[in-house]
Structure 1
Amino acid sequence: MSTSQPDASKPVTDRITPDSMLHTRTGTDVSPEDVVLASGKDITPKNLEWARRKLAQEGTAAIDKLLP
């Protein structure tokens, strides 16, 4: 019985998800909590206020700028 992973023999490029298949949103509204979490920060009153300002300035694109 082999202990190696089945896809280990494939080139790395075969295992990478193409950019055209990556999505950051499902069409729903973006909340300040979403922006805070996407930035890698903890949900605190200070960070939520930062996220509210960011959403007010940049709209829903704010989260797109944070995620790859």
Structure 2
Amino acid sequence: MKGEHDKEESSARHRPQLRTGGDQPVDPEDLVRLSGREPTPERVERARKQLEEHGAAAVERYLP
């Protein structure tokens, strides 16, 4: 029979890794799609500027 300590240790090993949007590379077209819009040249250019200015924080607006 497993004790309480064994249960806690087992569940800690099997927890999924949570990821945020900013921990992966994103290109401007991805950022436009994250906003729920279709990429157009104007939107992609605006997204490129957002990524240059804000970096990963630009993605965090749309993803947790």
Give unpaired runs (5+ residues) of structure 2: 1-16
Give unpaired runs (5+ residues) of structure 1: 1-20
* TM-score, length of structure 2 as denominator length: 0.60
Looking at structure 2, the residues matched to 41 and 51 of structure 1 have their Cα atoms a distance apart, in angstroms, of: 11
* Paired position in structure 2 for 1:66: 62
Residue 39 (structure 1) aligned with residue 35 (structure 2): yes
How many residues of Structure 1 are paired with residues of Structure 2 in the alignment? 48
Which one has more relative contact order, counting CA pairs under 8 Å at least 6 apart?
Answer: 2
State which structure, 1 or 2, has the greater radius of gyration over its C-alpha atoms: 2
More helix as a share of residues: 2
* Paired position in structure 2 for 1:54: 50
Q: CA RMSD in A?
A: 2.1
